[in-house]
Structure 1
Amino acid sequence: MHISPLVAPDAELSNNEVLRYSRHLLIPEVGLEGQKRLKNCRVLVIGAGGLGSPVLLYLAAAGVGTLGIVDFDVVDESNLQRQVIHKQSNIGKRKSISARDTIKEINPHVQVVLHEERLEAANAQAIISGYDLIVDGTDNFATRYLVNDVCVLSKKPYVWGSIYRFEGQVSVFWENAPGDVGLNYRDLYPEPPPPEMAPSCAEGGVLGILCASIGSMMATEAIKLITGIGETLLGRLAVYDALDMSYRFIPIKRAPVRTPITQLIDYQEFCGGKQTTKLQNSIPVISALELREMQEKGEAIQLIDVRGIEEWNIVRIEGATHIPKNKMMSEDVLSKMNKKDFIVVHCKMGARSKDVLIEMQKHGFTNAKSLDGGILAWIKDVDQSLPSY
């Protein structure tokens, strides 16, 4: 729906800015006034990763006056396939600093504010309070619900997007939008999915260019909100399928049963993360070096790889047997295994293998361990000749 401009056109444009943004100024719907609104706006982008990269690049190029970046992570080589704001020379550098440096090369007129910390209930309100619009490109449900609740309490709009493999989603949420149209993220997802049903891109993968498609939609929605042009995605969910090259727009209605948001909560617990972590912390583990030592001694070990077939095809530990997680946790498979065998289960980083061991313990397996750190720890500590991913 159409929304009035988010900020006033108070800022003045220099001669250099008039030249830089001339293609915007020629559009009647944007014009000089719209460009001044962009310059006067403060936008917080949460995450400088796959979605945050194109959002930051295009909002900076568009002339948003102040861009805040929330990110505490560092650039890894595996990020470069999709996080286009970072470069090879930035590997090992803080993502927020890398993003700031790229933005300054794109548009020196943009002020960049860094928040090099994890967004949590203790700091989220203080950080978000300094901005007019929030853009959420995070990849975990706990942060999404946190951002939503803070925006509801602070009466701020935010643009949300998500990606997985070939599909992406985008919407706009604003509980206190003008008129009786206020919606928030809980209207779309009243409850978070179980942790085991919410794989990350690190586990399931993502088509790199999908980030550009969804990120550009998010940046477009931000510009429309700031300038008051067009019809926003408030009240609609845009779903993009890159394989089919198809777009669907699904109406979002207020949830029938709504619990008023009056305060922030423990979002890790709300999303089941603490319970999962507590269970996983009780799982016995073995280090990559300990496993290697046992192998060299010729001890009997049944090594089971519970990753997906795509990951198995990329790299594997010699001697491992491949049984994907869902199959490994089935009654049919577990009933055929010898509970007396010493079993080591592993995945990429250790989380999925611990989930498997939790299920195995329920079936009476007491002589099984998870490879601490997964195959990535094996590559790092034992066999650096293997490819990482």
Structure 2
Amino acid sequence: MPVPPLVEPVAVLSDAESARTARHQVLAGLGEIGQRRLRAAHVAVVGAGGLGAPVVLALAAAGIGEITVIDDDDVELSNLQRQVMHRRSDVGRPKVDSAVRVAADLSPETVVHAKRARLASENAADLLAGADLVIDGTDTFETRLEVAAVTERLGIPLVWGVIQEFAAQITVFWSAPPQGTDAVVLSDLYPAGSVGELPTCAAVGVFGALCLQAGSILAMEAIKLITGIGDPLLGRVLVIDALRAKTGEVPLRPSRATAPAPQPERAPHVAVADLEAEIAAGAALLDVREDAEVADGMIPGAQHVPLAQVLADPAAIDAGRIVVICQVGARARRAADALRAAGADAVVLAGGMDAWTTGLESLDSPHSGADGGKMSDSNAEGVA
């Protein structure tokens, strides 16, 4: 079933980006607002090999705003049979450098964060900080366990794929999906201890063209989750048999026999009408939008800390009563949940800046009454 869009859209696309992505913007269901969501999104790709290479190409072409690419390997000649973003001139160079080059060629406005590192338990949270979702294209099950563990802790979607010889499996794991959707995690597909020693690509080979197909599907799943279109592979495993040109799917449901661990209480909301009372009671205001957004105005007295910075170290924000603000509310919910887990009494301004600005505009209307709940002049200033 469809899930709500994962990110809020940027306010506007540049003229060049709007022209470059014109064929997306006429797609029914995706449209211009979906393209603006893609521009706002931050996707982390773990692995820049057979799966990661086509994923990076597809995400950059689609207009993803930020892509973090994590890989510690150098390009080898034998990679070129399937890792399509590398060239002969890249042999001996870091794989993440290829990601920077190809993304710039396809989508100059896409920012690529190249992380030449092997993801492990001690660095996973830092490497994935700020990502809205993660795509796993790694080649060892040990690393896959680490990726799954950190995405489960962060509560963000994990788009997951694996290829061996002529077969592929693709699915989506999400430990904290929207209400009404079952949480599905890696251990539901591969319970602890069920995976033995796996053969390497060097030992059994991999069908190069299948990497492009599987990588494209991984990218499509990410795009669907970001924009809220279609039915993601959450609770389903797509199985591809390249030799027989067949695809099928297997249902995947939570396999945990015991009751699931209780989820942290989600941050409550406060209405714009109650904001003045919150401020009078000593609450701090925290705006988690990006620099370009706050340049157009903030609620007076708010502190600006972008969402990625909050998620990277929520304990660095002073604990206490905090009203978290973004443009509409989705980013504020993520920040508030992280702050509450770190001990703060964080709440979300319902409707975000859109609701606050709308409230001011309605109060400026000649039809607004004297008892319309108008905020004080000191709180009504400074909005661009």
Amino acid at match of 2:113: V
1:44 aligns with 2:33: no
Q: 2:121 is matched with which residue?
A: 121
Aligned counterparts, 1:100-249, within 5 A: 100-178=100-178, 179-193=180-194, 195-196=196-197, 198-249=198-249
Contact 1:238 1:249 in 2 (8 A): yes
The 3-state SS of whatever aligns with 2:73 is: coil
> How far apart, in 2, do the equivalents of 1:59 and 1:75 lie?
21
Change (3 A) 1:122 1:261: farther
The Cα shift of 1:191 comes to 2.2
The 3-state SS of whatever aligns with 1:80 is: helix
Identity rate of aligned residues, in percent? 44
Aligned counterparts, 1:295-310, within 5 A: none
Q: 2:21 is matched with which residue?
A: 21
**Structure of higher CA gyration radius:** 1
Aligned counterparts, 1:212-291, within 5 A: 212-257=212-257
The Cα shift of 1:194 comes to 5.1
The Cα shift of 1:192 comes to 4.4
CA deviations over 1:271-296 (Å, ceiling 9, x no partner) = xxxxxxxxxxxxxxxxxxxxxxxxxx
Change (3 A) 1:237 1:39: same
The Cα shift of 1:259 comes to 9.2
Amino acid at match of 1:42: H
Change (3 A) 1:81 1:34: same
> How far apart, in 2, do the equivalents of 1:250 and 1:118 lie?
31
Contact 1:188 1:252 in 2 (8 A): yes
Change (3 A) 1:41 1:128: same
The Cα shift of 1:149 comes to 1.1
CA-based RMSD: 1.5
The 3-state SS of whatever aligns with 1:199 is: coil
Contact 1:11 1:39 in 2 (8 A): no
Q: 2:334 is matched with which residue?
A: none
Contact 1:141 1:192 in 2 (8 A): no
Change (3 A) 1:144 1:151: same
> How far apart, in 1, do the equivalents of 2:7 and 2:253 lie?
27
Contact 1:187 1:253 in 2 (8 A): yes
Uncovered stretches (5+) of structure 2, i.e. residues with no partner: 263-384
Contact 2:99 2:114 in 1 (8 A): no
Aligned counterparts, 1:361-380, within 5 A: none
> How far apart, in 1, do the equivalents of 2:208 and 2:252 lie?
28
The Cα shift of 1:23 comes to 0.2
> More displaced, 228-237 or 98-107?
98-107
Flag as ranges the 4+ runs of structure 1 deviating above 6 A: 259-262
> How far apart, in 1, do the equivalents of 2:123 and 2:13 lie?
34
> How far apart, in 2, do the equivalents of 1:261 and 1:117 lie?
32
The Cα shift of 1:3 comes to 0.8
Contact 2:42 2:132 in 1 (8 A): yes
CA deviations over 1:312-366 (Å, ceiling 9, x no partner) = xxxxxxxxxxxxxxxxxxxxxxxxxxxxxxxxxxxxxxxxxxxxxxxxxxxxxxx
Uncovered stretches (5+) of structure 1, i.e. residues with no partner: 263-389
> How far apart, in 2, do the equivalents of 1:143 and 1:88 lie?
27
CA deviations over 1:105-142 (Å, ceiling 9, x no partner) = 11111000011111010000122222101000111111
> How far apart, in 1, do the equivalents of 2:139 and 2:206 lie?
12
Q: 2:30 is matched with which residue?
A: 30
Change (3 A) 1:175 1:134: same
> How far apart, in 1, do the equivalents of 2:203 and 2:196 lie?
13
TM-score (norm 1): 0.65
Contact 1:164 1:205 in 2 (8 A): yes
> How far apart, in 1, do the equivalents of 2:261 and 2:69 lie?
25
Amino acid at match of 2:105: E
The Cα shift of 1:261 comes to 8.1
Amino acid at match of 2:8: A
The 3-state SS of whatever aligns with 2:29 is: coil
Change (3 A) 1:10 1:74: same
> More displaced, 42-51 or 127-136?
127-136
The 3-state SS of whatever aligns with 2:232 is: coil
> How far apart, in 2, do the equivalents of 1:129 and 1:149 lie?
14
> How far apart, in 1, do the equivalents of 2:11 and 2:183 lie?
29
The Cα shift of 1:11 comes to 4.1
> How far apart, in 2, do the equivalents of 1:253 and 1:231 lie?
16
Amino acid at match of 2:28: P
